[in-house]
Amino acid sequence: MLRITGAKVIVSCPGRNFVTLKIETSDGVYGLGDATLNGRELSVVSYLTDHVIPCLIGRDAHRIEDIWQYLYKGAYWRRGPVTMSAIAAVDTALWDIKAKVAGLPLYQLLGGASREGVMVYGHANGTTIEETVEAARRYQAEGYKAIRLQSGVPGLASTYGVSNDRYFYEPANGNTPHENVWSTEKYLRSVPPLFEAAREALGWDVHLLHDAHHRLTPIEAGRLGRELEPFRPFWLEDATPAENPDGFRLIRQHTTTPLAVGEVFNSIWDAKQLIEEQLIDYIRTTVVHAGGITHLRRIASFADLYQVRTGCHGATDLSPVCMAAALHFGLSVPNFGVQEYMRHTELTDQVFPHAYTFENGMMHPGDAIGLGVEIDEDLAAKHEYKRAYLPVNRLEDGTMWSW
């Protein structure tokens, strides 16, 4: 038995907030798990410190599945982003520990490599089509095989996915939530010309992606998907809010553009109908928000029955600990599709030194034992938590809308 002797939650803001769980064991091996829930970080800190950690001390760190079930079923109150992020952090840290004890990189415990590397997509954005296409050219020159395109919408002051910095996009930045203005009509006019210009400039040997960020109705999404078909997008993401999965059936009736969804899902139950009715092509659940490696593997196995592939969320609010876990998962899982990769800042990478690498559009988790990611606790302690909210959206007449 490998006893869990301690666990602590490390909150740090090296440019943005991250919550990291560190679990320690009787033989000195420790493991890390990401528990960051953007804009709601301290709820997970409290859930872990006040409720989860007291139940962990003394348990056998090797019993990953049993601990997962204990935390999931044992809470009585099931699912939800706070609970599932906390469970995810425990699960990730326990896999890190098990792999370290085995003396293997984690992916070897998950069945070994199913491919040579993990294809990632980067984010090209700009305030105009020309700027976005220019940014995409730079990604292509850096070897990216898949690029997400987000461009400013004429007539709107700010747009999701568009930042001043060409490399880093960080939406969480207000001490209170920023209010953005949204117009679906203006947006819908702006996307097809972006894809047309991008295909002309970049050719056909690169995958192009787009995120509608939950803002369309199903019929609007159907139209956008259909208008993008000539440009062969890799996927249209979060076309419509997914609380009502039936909406995706309506989108499917109108377009063959592949659909991706699920970055805000936290369990297999959120995805079940979408997967078994083949209403989506890519499932975007990721390690930190969907119950860790254990639960993500369950979702992927289920999705594989329906030829749905993985496309894990990988924005900057998922820490390098989550990124490492996602890469071990992505390298090993049979039905891998693509992995999102938004680079972290240099300071974040200093706080979380890691073994994973990027080369020629592909990433690899590296062959360090465990997850292959560390935390520099002294440096982390120098960067205190700073409250930061995601923005909210209103229509031009003031009506609240999905951001």
Which helix (H) or strand (E) element contains residue 18?
strand 18-25
The yes or no reply on residue 320 touching ligand GCO (CB under 6 A) is no
Give the containing element (helix H, strand E) for 193.
helix 184-202
Quote the least distance from Cβ 316 to ligand GCO, whole Å. Answer: 7
From the list 12-20, 163-171, 209-217, 331-339, the region that binds Mg ion by CB under 5 A is 209-217
Number of residues that bind Mg ion (CB under 5 A): 1
Give min distance, CB of 399 to ligand GCO, in A: 21
* Encoded amino acid at 7, one letter: A
3-state secondary structure of 5: strand
Closest CA to 107 of 331, 359, 360: 331
Q: Where do the DSSP E strands lie in 155-257?
A: 179-182, 207-211, 235-237
Residue 347 near ligand GCO by CB under 6 A: no
211 scored as a contact of Mg ion (CB under 5 A):
yes
Question: Using CB under 6 A, which of 98, 210, 213, 295 touches ligand GCO?
Answer: 213
Q: In the window 375-394, what residues touch ligand GCO (CB under 6 A)? A: 390
Residue 252: name the closest of 239, 264, 265 by CA. 239
Least Å distance, CB 314 to ligand GCO, is 7
Which 256-315 positions form the footprint of ligand GCO (CB under 6 A)?
263, 313, 315
Q: What distance in Å separates the CA atoms of residue 149 and residue 190, rounded to the nearest whole number?
A: 12
- Give the side-chain half-sphere CA count within 13 A for 129: 15
**Residue 160: active-site member:** yes
Q: Which of 171, 320, 365, 370 binds ligand GCO (CB under 6 A)?
A: 171
Strand-pairing partners, residue 20, are: 10, 34
Instruction: Check binding of 340 to Mg ion (CB under 5 A).
Output: no
CA distance 263 to 240: 13
Q: Which stretch binds Mg ion (CB under 5 A): 9-17, 50-58, 163-171, 206-214?
A: 206-214
Catalytic entry in 160, 169, 187, 356: 160
Give the residue numbers marked as catalytic.
160, 213
Footprint of ligand GCO (CB under 6 A): 38, 171, 211, 213, 263, 313, 315, 317, 340, 390
Binding site for Mg ion (CB under 5 A): 211
